[in-house]
Amino acid sequence: FPGGKLEACETVAQALQRELHEEIGISIEDCVAWKTEQIDYPHALVQLNFCKVRRWSGELQMREAQLYTWQQLPVTVKPVLPGTLPVLEWFAQERSFLGRTVAE
């Protein structure tokens, strides 16, 4: 999942627009706030704001040397970062998915 930090005086929506343009080259046309989660990483307690982008323009460009793949539950990509686990559970709940969210 693309992401980054809020800059001074920046809203979550503004940060999302900036980060998605910087990291994957798209412009948001429609998004909604979805969930907020706190993750206790070894270096810091971090609040993560998750949004659903419902419409965008542009072609995906991996601008930070990362790869992407569209996944279905259970996801098979590795590694799955700690901040991603709640997101996968939320997706599973929305879709009434009862299995594991991450393949072994």
Give 102's DSSP letter: B
Q: Give the pLDDT band (50/70/90) at residue 81.
A: confident
Distance CA 88, CA 75 (A): 9
Is 93 strand, coil or helix? helix
For residues 72-76, average pLDDT: 95
Q: Give the pLDDT band (50/70/90) at residue 72.
A: very high
Q: Give the pLDDT band (50/70/90) at residue 37.
A: confident
Q: Where are the domains of the chain?
A: 1-64, 69-104
Q: State the fold for domain 1-64.
A: Nucleoside Triphosphate Pyrophosphohydrolase (3.90.79)
pTM of the model: 0.82
For residues 27-44, average pLDDT: 92
pLDDT confidence of residue 8: 94
Does residue 1 have a pLDDT over 80?
no
The size of the chain, in residues, is 104
Is 72 strand, coil or helix? coil
